[in-house]
Amino acid sequence: MSSRERILGRVRRALADVPADDTPYEQAVERGYAREHGDRSVGQTVDLLAENLADYRAIVHRCTAADLPATLAGMLAARGARTVIVPPGLDPGWLTSADAEQVPDRAESTPHELDRLDSVVTACAVAIAETGTIVLDGGPDQGRRRITLIPDHHICVVRVPDQVVSSVPQALERLDPARPLTWISGPSATSDIELDRVEGVHGPRTLEVVLVESPAGTEGTS
Amino acid sequence: MSGTFVGMPAFPKAAHEAVNNQTLRGNLRHATHTIRGKRAKAVAEVSDWAALREAGKQIKDHTLRHLDRYLVQVEEAVTAAGGTVHWAADADEANRIVTDLVKATGETEVVKVKSMATQEIGLNEALEAEGIRAYETDLAELIVQLGKDRPSHILVPAIHRNRGEIRDIFAREMSEWGRPAPEGLTDTPAELAEAARLHLREKFLRAKVGVSGANFVIAETGTLVVVESEGNGRMCLTLPETLISVVGIEKILPTWQDLEVFLQTLPRSSTAERMNPYTSTWTGTTDEDGPRAFHLVLLDNGRTDTLADEVGRQALRCIRCSACLNVCPVYERAGGHAYGSVYPGPIGAILSPQLRGTQSEIDASLPYASSLCGACYEVCPVAIDIPEVLVHLRERVVEGGQVTREGNKVVLRPAKGHAAERAAMRAARWAFSHPGALRTGQRLASRTRRLHPRSLPGPGRAWSATRDLPPVPAEPFRDWWQRTNGGKDGAK
Ligand code: SF4
């Protein structure tokens, strides 16, 4: 007998007490919990996102769409970044003012090559206000998972308010599980040494988030 | 299950030794009290905690009650997404599967993200025996591995070490394993973390094989989920060409939507954060992003036996948040090592004797490693009634009866009369000579009064048969004192 059959057989025998007409999944779980916590205007939700991101030690910037290239150029310059990784679908207008050399995200580059680069700029899929989380789904403006992992400095651009949701349940509704997802709440951190929080163990030690106002007339918010 | 720490003394003896270790107790007390306070705050932030907890319990219970169906669904979905599914009935089989997979890649080292399942099966040792070196990459696991030590806490495995000890371990051992610690390393946490970053980075960047566990597996989509803080998880999950995930069969959730419950309760219960710094989800393989080969090893190793026990089954709801450890007065004094398994604290006291059976002395003594204070039940985000299972297992140790071992029904003989009594009494004496443990113990005793027999369950029965147990007061003095501000508030 294969282990598969053995395990499934054991499970079935172990569950002899479960009736055939046991409550189906749809009725077995009461979802009495909240879809979001609190009652906020769209503007307040964006403010809460900024607040919670900062609380988890991300550096938060806010600007208009028109100011985005100058804002990004300034951030990279302040950091002294000489090289910046760029996902294939990043809006080419965003980095027009930046001095740093732009390195495309390529499947062939090795982890060691990525390790020599200074910064990465990406967009995101959705941002969650209540938890201060940005979620990347590997879309063309976000690139492969590793480009936001190896460089020590990650700049993530969030279009507000249309990419912002209040809560975890709302975020999951918007996300596609078939894509590889990375949820990021603040920079890499550890509390393993006497529970003192230290930023940056293996992931980027600096996370900067730019909340950019969507130009008027784009999608609404949730 | 091969996870028994070899030569481990039974709980009372191990606990006794730990209690006499002042450094250990100091480190533990600091850590558990800090997390405990923060957790309470994080939980208070969400108004619907009780509803989330209930939903989490119901989702897990439903999944366990239909586990056969969900296992098959996981297999189909992972396979459809480009992964390969393997089934491992026990630790040896799981180790063999992983070893063969690693060997097939031609590699002799793997990077690992902290996984309790692989600790449970002793994977690192099994790989070592085949000439494959496994590098633990979680900072705390690194401390444990370099210190030739055992993890003592689910979430903070090096909780028993203070910064001075960690500095010494790094300075002494890092060069044995790769990049040495920087000259003049001090004991500031930032410098220690930096040393670990440099040491491990060289391993991440060259790694071809990664090994992980998973916090959740979604049946409808075949998605795996890993929740972490440091980014070592992301490194292991995305940089290697081959990823092997060893996952207990109890980690399944039916739907993608179910994550909305656990991604809210797990971070708050474990690290007391609104959200942990990183969560990764992946479904099979993705072209040109991450590993090209993905293997999922579904692990039984005693879980189906646990499932067969209608009272004990609830232990499989555990999401390994470690909240129960941090509130446990016995854990706080005894430390994680005393439990003789990778699962310490209250959850370990009910999980290990079920996964492994109660034949060994340590496993027979674990159900007594508790004051039954009930604090573990109160914090548990999936509402596992740990005290109920403890009492149930005590009865099993003493009275014997029918249990399932490796899928077969067997009848356990009662533990030999006075050996069992001795074990129980030693545990009891230990608890009663540590006032903090007793204090909280009394609280539960009154809360569960209607469940209280006039004689002790389990091995205590022989002892209480000839003695009357004092009745349990409706409210312990200590609670009354706190509630009424020492009687000043004029309450009765
Ligand atoms: S038993 Fe409950 S509180 Fe303890 S680790 Fe498991 S889920 Fe957390």
Give which of B209, B211, B204 is closest to B118, Cα–Cα. B211
The predicted structure's pLDDT at residue B29: 84
3 state SS of B63: helix
Mean pLDDT of B57-67: 98
Residue type (1 letter), B132: I
Is residue B252 within 8 Å of B298, Cβ to Cβ? no
Cα–Cα distance, B161 to B212 (Å, whole number):
24
Cα–Cα distance, B361 to B368 (Å, whole number):
12
Mean pLDDT of B15-39: 79
Q: Is any ligand 1 atom within 6 A of the Cβ of residue B123?
A: no
The predicted structure's pLDDT at residue B483: 56
CA angle B376-B265-B52, nearest 5°?
Answer: 95
The predicted structure's pLDDT at residue A14: 98
Q: Is any ligand 1 atom within 6 A of the Cβ of residue B381?
A: yes
Banded pLDDT at B152 (limits 50, 70, 90) = confident
Look over chain A and give the mean of its residue pLDDT values, rounded to a whole number: 93
Banded pLDDT at B443 (limits 50, 70, 90) = very low
Cα–Cα distance, B24 to B124 (Å, whole number):
26
pLDDT for residue B432 is more than 80:
no
Q: With an 8 Å Cβ cutoff, is B36 touching chain A?
A: no
A-B CB pairs within 8 A amount to 257
Q: Is any ligand 1 atom within 6 A of the Cβ of residue B35?
A: no
Q: What's the B379 CA to ligand 1 centre distance in angstroms?
A: 8
The protein residue with its alpha carbon nearest to ligand 1, atom 4, reads B324
The predicted structure's pLDDT at residue B458: 40
The predicted structure's pLDDT at residue A193: 73
pLDDT for residue B417 is more than 90:
no
Per-residue pLDDT tens over the stretch A127-172: 999 999 999 999 999 999 999 999 999 999 999 999 999 999 999 9
Is residue B457 within 8 Å of B394, Cβ to Cβ? yes
The protein residue with its alpha carbon nearest to ligand 1, atom 3, reads B380
The predicted structure's pLDDT at residue B468: 39
As a whole-number percent, the residues of chain B with pLDDT over 90 amount to 59
Give which of B468, B465, B469, B364 is closest to B419, Cα–Cα. B364
**Partners of B88 in the beta sheet?**
B299
Inter-chain CB proximity B139 and A196 less than 8 Å: no
Nearest by CB to A14, from B204, B289, B304: name it: B304
Pocket test for ligand 1, best of B32, B49, B355, B382 (most atoms within 8 A of CB): B382
ipTM confidence: 0.95
Q: Which atom of ligand 1 is nearest to the CA of B317?
A: 7
Per-residue pLDDT tens over the stretch B80-139: 999 999 999 999 999 999 999 999 999 999 999 989 999 999 999 999 999 999 999 988
Q: Is any ligand 1 atom within 6 A of the Cβ of residue B321?
A: yes
Mean pLDDT of B437-454: 42
Cα–Cα distance, B10 to B19 (Å, whole number):
14
pLDDT for residue B427 is more than 60:
no
Banded pLDDT at B75 (limits 50, 70, 90) = very high
Question: How far apart are the CA of B300 and the nearest CA of chain A, in angstroms?
Answer: 7
The predicted structure's pLDDT at residue B23: 74
Q: At what angle do helices B22-44 and B11-19 cross, to 10 degrees?
A: 100
Per-residue pLDDT tens over the stretch B266-312: 999 998 999 999 999 999 999 999 999 999 999 999 999 999 999 99
Q: Is any ligand 1 atom within 6 A of the Cβ of residue B384?
A: yes
Q: Which atom of ligand 1 is nearest to the CA of B323?
A: 3
Pocket test for ligand 1, best of B250, B268, B318 (most atoms within 8 A of CB): B318
Radius of gyration, CA atoms only, chain A: 21
The predicted structure's pLDDT at residue B448: 42
Inter-chain CB proximity A194 and B30 less than 8 Å: yes
The protein residue with its alpha carbon nearest to ligand 1, atom 6, reads B318
Buried b (16+ CB within 10 A) or exposed e, B239-278: bbebbbbbbbbbbbbbbbbbbbbbbbbbbbbbbbbbbbbb
Buried b (16+ CB within 10 A) or exposed e, A144-163: bbbbbbbbbbbbbbbbbbeb
What does residue A211 show for φ and ψ, rounded to 5 degrees? Answer: -95, 110
Inter-chain CB proximity A192 and B156 less than 8 Å: yes
The predicted structure's pLDDT at residue B375: 94
The predicted structure's pLDDT at residue B279: 97
Mean pLDDT of B45-61: 97
Is residue B223 within 8 Å of A177, Cβ to Cβ? yes
Q: Which chain B residues are closer than 8 Å to A37 by Cβ?
A: 46-48
Q: Which atom of ligand 1 is nearest to the CA of B321?
A: 8
Inter-chain CB proximity B59 and A17 less than 8 Å: no
Give which of B187, B196, B108 is closest to B144, Cα–Cα. B196
pLDDT for residue B471 is more than 70:
no
More confident residue, B366 or B31: B366
Nearest by CB to B197, from A8, A128, A202: name it: A202
pLDDT for residue B336 is more than 90:
no
pLDDT for residue B262 is more than 50:
yes
DSSP states of B112-132:
E---HHHHHHTHHHHHHHTT-
